[in-house]
Amino acid sequence: MAAPHDAPTAAQLIEAVREWLERDVAASTEGRLKFHARVAANVLAIVERELDLGGLQATEHAARLARLGVPDDAALAAGIRRHEFDDRLDEVRGLLLSSVIDKLLVANPGYLNGAG
């Protein structure tokens, strides 16, 4: 992390809270509180993955959109509705598949191998 912030980084703080929820809170509670601790830990895990992967994913997504000649997802959706990409459906499918994989890598990577 760059100045003016010192260690621990935001990512390290999130990891510490997530681990505490998983290790201490969820392990020593029952019922509703245990469930909510697990949900909170899962949310923090998603945030960790987004912090780790999000920048590169955004850059790659923008490059894929640029190859199709659209500036953003809204323009892509509009172009699909207007059949502007009917001659490039393989490219569109590839972009959409990559987008879904990126989202799953953040939301729940286990879904990609059937373990989610």
> What's the rounded Cα separation, in Å, for the pair 88 and 78?
15
Residue 45, number of CB atoms within 10 A of its CB: 19
Classify the phi-psi angles of 72: left when phi > 0, otherwise alpha if psi is within -120 to 50, otherwise beta: beta
> What's the rounded Cα separation, in Å, for the pair 100 and 92?
12
Q: What is the DSSP string of the chain?
A: --TT--SSPHHHHHHHHHHHIIIIIGGG--HHHHHHHHHHHHHHHHHHHHHHHHHHHHHHHHHHHHHHT-SSHHHHHHHHHTTTTGGGHHHHHHHHHHHHHHHHHHH-GGGGGT--
Tell me, what's the pLDDT at 98? 97
The number of distinct structural domains making up the chain is 1
**pTM attached to this predicted model:** 0.82
75 part of a folded domain? yes
Give the range of the structural domain holding residue 42, as residue numbers without chain letter.
Answer: 10-109
22 part of a folded domain? yes
**pLDDT over 60 at 1, yes or no:** no
Tell me, what's the pLDDT at 22? 94
Q: What is the pLDDT of residues 35-50, one digit of tens each?
A: 999 999 999 999 999 9
**CB of 53 within 8 A of CB of 105?**
yes
59 part of a folded domain? yes
Mean pLDDT score, 46-55? 96
Q: Average model confidence (pLDDT) for the chain?
A: 94
Mean pLDDT score, 55-68? 98
| Residue predicted with more confidence, 7 or 93 | 93
100 part of a folded domain? yes
Tell me, what's the pLDDT at 4? 76
27 part of a folded domain? yes
4 part of a folded domain? no
Tell me, what's the pLDDT at 48? 96
Longest dimension (CA), the chain: 58
29 part of a folded domain? yes
Q: What is the pLDDT of residues 76-115, one digit of tens each?
A: 999 999 999 999 999 999 999 999 999 999 999 999 987 7
39 part of a folded domain? yes
